[in-house]
Amino acid sequence: MRSIIVDGPARLSGSVHVPGAKNSVLPILAASLLCTGTVVLRNVPRLTDVQAALEIHASLGCTAALHGHTVSICADGMRACDIPHSLAARMRSSVFYLAPLLARTGRAALAAPGGCDLGPRPVDIHIDGLCAMGAHVVQESGGASALTAPRGLHCADYTLRFPSVGATETLLMAACAARGVSVLRGVAVEPEVVDLARFLRSAGAEISGEGTRCITVRGRGALLGTQYDVCADRIVAATVLCAAAACGGEVIVDGCPARQLEPLVSLLRRAGCAVAALGTDSVALSSDGALRGLGLVQTGVYPAFPTDMAPLLGAAVLRADGISVIRDTIFPNRFVCAQGFAVFGARCGAAGESLVVSGVRSLNGAQAAAPDLRGGAALVIAAMSAHGESVIDNAHHIERGYEDISGLFTPLGAHLETACGCPCAV
Ligand code: EPZ
């Protein structure tokens, strides 16, 4: 078990260039199976989820190699169409392989996808949309799915019952390979959906409307190999901003479009931070660490305040003067990290879908376990603003979405190191 050891409190100053986005590169890696020839992706974050995706590609008979922050993939040798439990269970993003496998082989079998335990994470919209395009469910139980499309996929005019990010990405991939013109309505408009559409277009797909609630796709046969730069990770940018807000200091995050951070920026201003956009792709934040409570905050689908940023914002206001109530409308178990916050001395609790925080003057170092990816990052933020040494166990959750969280914050003045997780007295 790996752990993050933190010696707090820290004051953060400096600038961070935001790495490539986990939630963009993972669907794009799956979509590369739709291409003949070689796909080269740049600005790829070195994450354990990316490694898991490359192992899925290898298990299917594709070549996939990561050198630095560049991945090259060729699916021409693909010879399998099923993804075993040992690989599927490692991340939610294994679900993205259903569409390209169906499109290329007429069949797809996927054990239950893994991912953060944020509550029920069904894939019914993915499956329903694929069936609207001609797929048939052979088996669906316990989260595992097997579908066939013996006559290939055909176009559909399909409305998603909820703007699911993943289901939008699944159906966008399927529509690119389906015969005819598909119209997808009620889709997600997150930046990562737009990035996938741009990748597919660079490979020859005919797509319009991405970033709006209605996407139109003229399907065609195989797409072509391409080269593509993955967009910046807005959640990593948010992590740095929330950490500086919590600890105090002056940071600049660059490389991520400032407009993607606007909902968070307005909340950090409400808490008392000075935040300014420096051009289109850079945000500067200054905080004295003495914040005000936020009152009521609610997450929503993009462009609302995103669910992934909710635990990070919660960590930022643990020492704020006043009450903050952050309600997540997307995932029921988003705030399991509240138990970890309390170990540091925070006065908080998870009430239903909400995190309720009554700020305290100071936090003390403690040992806590990361419950999931963003909850783990939030505990690191709490530890950096606490007095004394902390140990955040189960760091493997954090490593799914952060290339090197110690290396992210140490240059800014924090004292973090990643350890083997040997039992340490705090
Ligand atoms: C993506 O998950 C992200 N993951 C999540 O980031 C992010 O929190 C989420 O979108 C929301 O923005 C990746 O992109 C790899 P959804 P996804 O489908 O696609 C329900 C992180 O920390 N739903 O938009 O799984 C679902 O249960 C991760 O980086 C159905 O009911 O999210 C949830 O309540 C965590 N049926 C809601 O929709 C379906 O078929 C939103 O889920 C699909 C989803």
Q: In percent, how much of the chain has pLDDT > 70? A: 99
Given this model, what pLDDT does residue 426 score?
A: 42
Evaluate: CB of 239 within 6 angstroms of ligand 1.
no
| 3-state class (DSSP) for residue 121 | coil
Closest CA to 102 of 57, 137, 62: 137
Q: Which ligand 1 atom sits nearest the alpha carbon of residue 119? A: 27
Which of 164, 193, 307, 337 to probe ligand 1 with, by most ligand atoms within 8 A of CB?
A: 164
pLDDT in tens, 2-57: 999 999 999 999 999 999 999 999 999 999 999 999 999 999 999 999 999 999 99
DSSP result, 281-318: SEEEEEE-S-PBP-EEEE--STTS--GGGHHHHHHHTT
Determine if ligand 1 sits within 6 Å of the CB of residue 24: no
Nearest ligand 1 atom to alpha carbon 188 = 24
What is the distance between the alpha carbons of residues 258 and 426, in angstroms, rounded to a whole number? 38
Whether the CB-CB separation of 123 and 169 falls below 8 Å is answered with: no
Please state the atom number of ligand 1 nearest to the C-alpha of residue 373: 22
In the predicted structure, residue 118 carries a pLDDT above the cut 90? no
Vertex 250, ends 399 and 345: CA angle to 5°? 60
Q: What is the pLDDT of residue 378?
A: 98
Residues 304-333: what's their mean pLDDT? 98
Ligand 1 atom nearest the C-alpha of 118 is: 35
Give catalytic status of residue 422 as yes or no. no
User: Rounded distance, CA 7 to CA 417, Å?
Assistant: 9
Residue among 23, 171, 312, 331 whose CB has most ligand 1 atoms within 8 A, to mutate: 23
Please state the pTM of the whole predicted model. 0.97
**What residue type is assigned to position 35 of the chain?**
C
- Give the pLDDT of residue 425: 44
pLDDT band at 83 (very low <50, low <70, confident <90, very high): confident
Residue with the smallest CA separation from ligand 1 atom 42 is 164
Please tell me the number of Cα atoms within 13 Å of 181 on its side-chain side.
6
Ligand 1 closest atom vs CA 401? 29
Structure tokens at 112: 């239950």
Q: What is the mean pLDDT of residues 266-271?
A: 98
Question: Does the Cβ of 123 fall within 6 Å of ligand 1?
Answer: yes
Q: Is the pLDDT of residue 219 over 70?
A: yes
* Residue 421 pLDDT class (50, 70, 90 cuts): low
How far is residue 54 from each of residues 27, 51, 61, 243, 312, measured CA to CA in Å?
A: 12, 5, 11, 31, 29
How does pLDDT run across 335-394, given as a tens digit for each residue?
A: 999 999 999 999 999 988 999 999 999 999 999 999 999 999 999 999 999 999 999 999
Work out the mean pLDDT of the chain and round it to a whole number.
95
Give domain limits for the chain. 2-18+232-425, 22-229
Does the C-beta of 234 come closer than 6 Å to ligand 1?
Answer: no
Q: Give the per-residue pLDDT at 119.
A: 85
The topology under which CATH files domain 22-229 is UDP-n-acetylglucosamine1-carboxyvinyl-transferase; Chain (3.65.10)
Ligand 1 centroid, distance to 363 Cα (angstroms): 32
pLDDT value of residue 121? 87
Domain range 2-18+232-425, its CATH number among 3.90.480.10, 3.90.420.10, 3.65.10.10, 3.30.460.10: 3.65.10.10
Among 116, 242, 273, 337, the active-site one is 116
CB-ligand 1 contact for 47 (6 Å cutoff): no
Q: Find out whether the beta carbon of 337 lies less than 6 Å from any atom of ligand 1.
A: no
Ligand 1 pocket test: pick from 22, 28, 29, 121 the residue with the most ligand atoms within 8 Å of its Cβ: 121
Indicate which residue's Cα is closest to atom 30 of ligand 1: 122
- 134-150: pLDDT as tens digits: 999 998 777 788 999 99
- What does the CA dihedral 184, 190, 196, 200 come to, rounded to 10 degrees? 40
